[in-house]
Amino acid sequence: MSDKKTIIFAEDTVHIAKLLKFKLEKEGFNLIHFPSGVGVTEGVIKYKPDLVMLDIMMPVKDGLTVLKELKSNPSIANIPVILLTANSHEEYVVKGLQLGAIDYILKPFASAELMLRIKNILKMR
């Protein structure tokens, strides 16, 4: 099995997801992208990633619903979750943190800062 840390990233903005995949893979991570909240919980159960990043506003199934599912399943509840949300939806952050998210990033974001936060969280585990 490879030593690469795996990150699951649910984000409906495809180009941004591709950019982050490019950057994270260059840093030695393995990124699995989901274009919406659908299938994320199953993906987390299957791949047991080291970190999950969830966009809050997504079609069909939003990030907070996914977060609730993750935290209510004891086998995956300890996997850290970072939330991504637009500046204008800051109120959801409090709800996300109450639900068990470990950190949040407001959009627009600097990719360098996001990378640092990911690395710090993974280092602390």
Partner 1 sequence: MSKLASRQVGMFIYLGVFLVIHIDIFSFLALTIFALLIITYILVIQVVLLRLLHGYQTKQEQKFFAVWEERIFNYLEGDEKPQTLIKKIRRGKYIYLLRYLREFFLMLKGDDFAKLSSLINETKLQPFLLSYLQSGSPRKINEAAYFLGLAKSEASKRLLRKKLRSENASVFLSSALALARLNDIDAVFDIFRNARHFKFISKDSLLAILSEYTDDVCKPLFQNLKREKNVLIQSITITLFRHFKFYQAGEMVLKIMVYSPSKDVIIESIKFFSTIELFEASTALRSLITHPKAEIRSEVLKALAVLGDESFEQRIWDRMYDSEYEVQYNAVITLMKIIPGSEEKISRFAYGNLKDRAAAIARMVLSERNIKN
Instruction: Name the site residues for partner 1 (rule: CB under 8 A).
Output: 13, 15-16, 18-19, 22-23, 26, 107-113
CB of 17 to partner 1, least distance (A): 10
> Given the complex with partner 1, which of 26 and 123 has the nearer CB atom?
26
CB of 98 to partner 1, least distance (A): 13
Token pair, residue 89, equals 């939806």
CB of 76 to partner 1, least distance (A): 28
DSSP state of 9: E
Q: Which helix (H) or strand (E) segment is 105 a member of? A: strand 103-107
Alpha helices in 52-90 (DSSP H): 63-72
> Given the complex with partner 1, which of 23 and 47 has the nearer CB atom?
23
> Given the complex with partner 1, which of 50 and 55 has the nearer CB atom?
55
CB 30 within 8 A of CB 6: yes
Virtual torsion, Cα 117, 52, 124, 6, nearest 10 deg: -100
> Given the complex with partner 1, which of 25 and 42 has the nearer CB atom?
25
The backbone torsions φ and ψ at residue 64, rounded to the nearest 5 degrees and listed phi first, read -70, -35
CB of 102 to partner 1, least distance (A): 21
